[in-house]
Amino acid sequence: MLAEIITIGDEILIGQIVDTNSAWMAKQLNSIGVSVKQITSVSDDETHILQALADAEKRAEIILITGGLGPTKDDITKKTLAKYFGMGFRRDEGALEMVTSIFKKYNRPLLDINMQQADVPDGCEVIVNRNGTAPCMWFEQNDKIFVSMPGVPYEMMYLVDDEILPRITSRFKLPSIVHKTILTANIGESFLAKEIEDIEDNLPAHIKLAYLPKLGQVRLRLSAKGENETNLKAEVDEYANQIIAKVKKFVVIDDDVPLEKAIIDIMKKQSLTLSTAESCTGGYIAHLITQHPGCSSVYWGGAVAYAYELKESILGVKESTLTKFGAVSEETVTEMAEGAVRQFKTDYSIAVSGIAGPDGGTEDKPVGTVWIAISSKNKTVAKVFNFSNKRIQNIERSAASALMMLLNLLREDQHNE
């Protein structure tokens, strides 16, 4: 079964927002055996939305649509859907009740345009949105299903999880789609491909292998589609094991998780604790780690030591070190890492100090110069990196490099035990 996703809104086409809804919906659809054929973003323009709907209807059986359902004049999705299906409008009692109760909850007067949120094309089925005033609308035409949802992520997420997916799974007999991801590090994409060439060449037609390189890591993804989930899983696992056996020393984890999550899991198994001491990454590493439920048994916390004063007071970096070598130096980052282990009483720490840019570089230390140190009770390793002049990327690349260094030290320590 094929699906398409259409996201509507000028803000996407002018790059004011990143469309994160599509990836989330695609993942959920995939998990129940529905393949997404295309994701299309179009502006709040009637002709173009009509065309996108017609194109999607030709290619897919299920079309999920988000956006353009607000109460204001720039939102035209509802009117356009009514036109597409040749429907008039009716006021939906359930939707009106929800709008009324939301305004009551926040003690706000109900305006005419809010009540109009409950007006829907008369041939659609309304699915009540418990988290907002725009109702979700389910249309059927020529055996195709169209679902229109608000673009607000958490409203859309509840609707998809609680309403849309259950309806799809109960109605259709869906195939199974099985993915298995192996996270590798310290090896380039092409070398990896060469190492596992024999395995790749012998994959059956219904199993695909993909390479996803990112920031010094490469994810290998095996994807299989078929009738019997148990058999597919066994088959995919078999090929995954062949690959793992072939490139064992580069494998971080055989799961589709970010590097920091793999590290947390490794440390949790060994009852190890971690803290952070961040300057130029400004809390980004802490944020990466704390996104993941259950991190608190490993990660105790840390400092975002932007100012000199905080590097001294929280982390115990010596004033003389800062004065003599500067904040971006091997000496400072080493003291930051060792200070974190000492002050926060953790087994390991990550410290980062660099010039994220775009300003603040010098001839000696241009923008993109980043010192990273990893400390354990026995040892501190420090390394300098020369990244680019783009701030956000420098932050991301610093974080990825720091996590890689931590992983490598953990492995080395484990090996030495």
Does residue 310 belong to the site contacting a second copy (CB under 8 A)?
Answer: yes
Task: Give the integer Cα–Cα distance in Å for 3 and 29.
Answer: 8
Does residue 30 belong to the site contacting a second copy (CB under 8 A)?
Answer: yes
CB of 347 to a second copy, least distance (A): 13
Which residue in 188, 231, 386, 412 binds a second copy (CB under 8 A)? Answer: 188
Q: Are 61 and 143 in contact (CB under 8 A)?
A: yes
Residue 383 CA: distances (Å) to CA of 204, 332, 339, 404, 405: 44, 12, 17, 12, 9
- Omega of the bond leading into 358 within 30 degrees of 0 (cis): yes
Site track 222-241 with a second copy (rule: CB under 8 A), x = hit: -x------------------
Beta strand 62-66 with 2-8: parallel, antiparallel or unpaired?
Answer: parallel
Does residue 189 belong to the site contacting a second copy (CB under 8 A)?
Answer: yes
Does residue 212 belong to the site contacting a second copy (CB under 8 A)?
Answer: yes
Q: Which is nearer to a second copy, 86 or 293 (CB)?
A: 293
Site track 3-22 with a second copy (rule: CB under 8 A), x = hit: -------xxxxxxxxxxx-x
Residues 350-409 that bind a second copy (CB under 8 A): 356-359, 388, 390-393, 395
Does residue 193 belong to the site contacting a second copy (CB under 8 A)?
Answer: yes
Tell which residue, 128, 132, 163, has the closest CA to residue 25: 163
Residues 264-293 that bind a second copy (CB under 8 A): 275-276, 278, 280-287, 289-291, 293
Task: Give the integer Cα–Cα distance in Å for 193 and 24.
Answer: 29
Which residue in 33, 44, 217, 341 binds a second copy (CB under 8 A)? Answer: 44
Q: Which is nearer to a second copy, 104 or 194 (CB)?
A: 194
Site track 126-155 with a second copy (rule: CB under 8 A), x = hit: --------------------------xxx-
Q: Which is nearer to a second copy, 125 or 204 (CB)?
A: 204
The C-alpha angle 15, 17, 22, rounded to 5 degrees, equals 105
Which residue in 1, 50, 55, 408 binds a second copy (CB under 8 A)? Answer: 55
Residues 314-333 that bind a second copy (CB under 8 A): 314
DSSP letters, 215-259, are TTEEEEEEEEEES-HHHHHHHHHHHHHHHHHHTGGGEEESSS--H
The window from 108-116, 121-129, 259-267, 317-325 that contacts a second copy (CB under 8 A) reads 108-116
Burial of 37 (0-12, 13-18, 19+ CB in 10 A): middle
